[in-house]
Amino acid sequence: RRFRRVMSSTQRDNEHDPSFRRTLRVVASVAAQRAFPGRVMYGGHPIDGAYLFAFREGDAPTEAEGKLLEAAMLELIEADAELTLRALPYADAIAYFVAHDMDASASLLRSRVRGTVQCVDVRGMLRLSLFPLLASAGLLAAARPWVHVAREGLLVVYHPAPFVPSPTLLASFTDHRAWGRVHGAQTLGALNALKGVGREVVDFNLHAEFRQEAKLAAIAEAIRARNEAAESASHAVGVICIAGPTSSGKTTFATKLAMYLSNFGYHAVALSVDHYYLPLDRQPQYQLRSDRSDVDYDSIDAMDVVLVNEHVNALLAGEEVMTPVYNMKTGYRDEPGKAFKLPPTGKAILVLEGIHSLNPAYTSMVSAERLFRIYISPLSALQLDEANTMRTTDHRLLRRMCRDFLFRGYPASRTLAVWDKVRVGEHRWIFPHQDGVDFVMNSAMEYELRVLKVYAEPLLSAVEPHEPTFGKAR
């Protein structure tokens, strides 16, 4: 059996073609096995138009090893190596992966036993067949993938040079991967293998919770330390800006951080920025042809950033402001608004949590020393097999699907229908500002997947064949 022989016509198409990206990960994984016999690489973490591959034991790669991986990968591409589907008996598949010390694949098979296992054969080297792929490695040639060497691992790049990987993503993946290595849960199969009898699962869950609590404590301590070192109260941290993609846990995180700060005597108060939209007659897109459907409420241009800055500075100065109350039905503000003032404790901190909170324009008139900026996202380092990971995007989609059902009564089909639009907004308004922050909060907790499955699986099973999102749900 063969995979489809389809090639995207442009570089941009390549980057957005799931089969292209999945094939690249498999080819890179096979190339790593050829280049480094006797060593195992885990890979597939997406980093800014590249995939991070790293040695399982955490060894930092060398420039020479980067060249070896690139040469092995290009050899497969230039030879147009075929990717062939093979159905193997379960025992034969397990025997292959155990013999080659491929614990991610072996443990995944043991947790989901099937009589026959579908594998991908690339020149006699096997990978689990988890997704549809292209028919041969030669179909990757147009993208001219290459290898960038970083301290955290080898990045297989399919984006044109110059390439600058996000330090935020690299640091978070590396930190989380090290935590998984210590607790014996680097892979989905290992997570599934945790024993429900006794303390094993309970202790793992507690360790995951402790890790989150430790990060919250570290943030609170960092803010306290900065304020103690400040020349005066007017130079201390007065605003905490929190942003991240949907279903990252922003609201829960902000609430818990306020509790931790209270242990140091701080009073953290949230300012709702969801009401700071420009009135309809001042919306740039509406002014063009007076059609409200043109207004993009996710855009920074739809926000009254001048008023946000004025109110933040006034609040830091101890003044009272009238915050707007935006009426989504009319497109205008309901007057007179709501009176808002920080508590006169001398240790009050304003919390801004929203899609644009890390956008420099949002706080451009506020002194930088008064800001503490936090980016939050569940950046899981969990491997499915040696070439594929638990995608952060999928993790967040599962969270949102469960939240939409439990708190809004939405079916999974509705969540899936708007997901692509949500993702476009994230790439435009959130991800460009994820670097250069004071703290990255990785909200991933691997045990959460076992909990989400209980809710998400029935929701996905309820999507009917006539619905446009049926294919996604399968």
DSSP letters spanning 101-115 = T-HHHHHHHHHS--S
CA atoms within 13 A on the CB side of 301: 10
Q: How far is CA 17 from CA 21, 209, 337, 451, in A?
A: 6, 36, 47, 31
Q: What's residue 286's pLDDT?
A: 84
pLDDT at residue 308, rounded to an integer: 94
What is residue 334's predicted lDDT score, i.e. its pLDDT? 93
Q: Which pLDDT score is estimated for 6?
A: 40
Q: Which of 378, 398, 379, 391 is nearest to 454 (CA)?
A: 398
3-state SS assignment for residue 470 = helix
Residue 459 to residues 184, 188, 294: CA-CA distances in angstroms?
31, 22, 33
What confidence score (pLDDT) does residue 14 get? 56
Give the whole-angstrom CA distance, residue 428 versus residue 196: 42
307: phi then psi, degrees, rounded to nearest 5:
-65, -40
**Sign of the four-CA dihedral 133, 134, 135, 138:** negative
Residue type, 415: T
Residue in the structure block whose two tokens are 């941290």: 237
Torsion, CA 169, CA 175, CA 179, CA 182, rounded to 10: 130
Specify whether the CB–CB gap between 242 and 352 falls below 8 A: yes
Q: What is the pLDDT of residue 3?
A: 53
Q: CA 244, CA 200: separation in Å to the nearest integer?
A: 32
Contact by Cβ (8 Å): 415, 401: yes
Residue 411: asked if its preceding bond is cis (omega within 30°), the reply is no
Task: Please give the chain's pLDDT, 474 residues, in tens.
Answer: 455 444 333 444 555 688 999 999 999 999 999 999 999 999 999 888 899 999 998 889 999 999 999 999 999 999 999 999 999 999 999 999 999 999 999 999 999 889 999 999 999 999 999 999 999 999 999 888 999 999 999 999 987 778 888 888 888 888 998 899 899 889 999 999 988 788 899 999 999 999 999 999 999 999 999 999 998 888 899 999 999 999 999 989 999 999 999 999 999 999 888 889 999 999 988 888 888 888 888 888 999 999 999 999 999 999 999 999 999 889 999 999 999 999 988 899 999 988 899 999 989 999 999 999 999 999 988 999 999 999 899 999 999 999 999 998 999 999 999 899 889 989 999 999 998 899 999 999 988 888 999 999 999 999 999 989 998 888
**Residue 445: closest CA among 400, 409, 395:** 395
DSSP annotation string for 156-187: EE-SPSP----HHHHHHHHHHHHHHHHTT-SB
**Residue 336: cis peptide before it, omega within 30 degrees of 0:** yes
Q: Nearest Cα to 245, choosing from 351, 407, 354?
A: 354
Tokens of 91: 């025992």
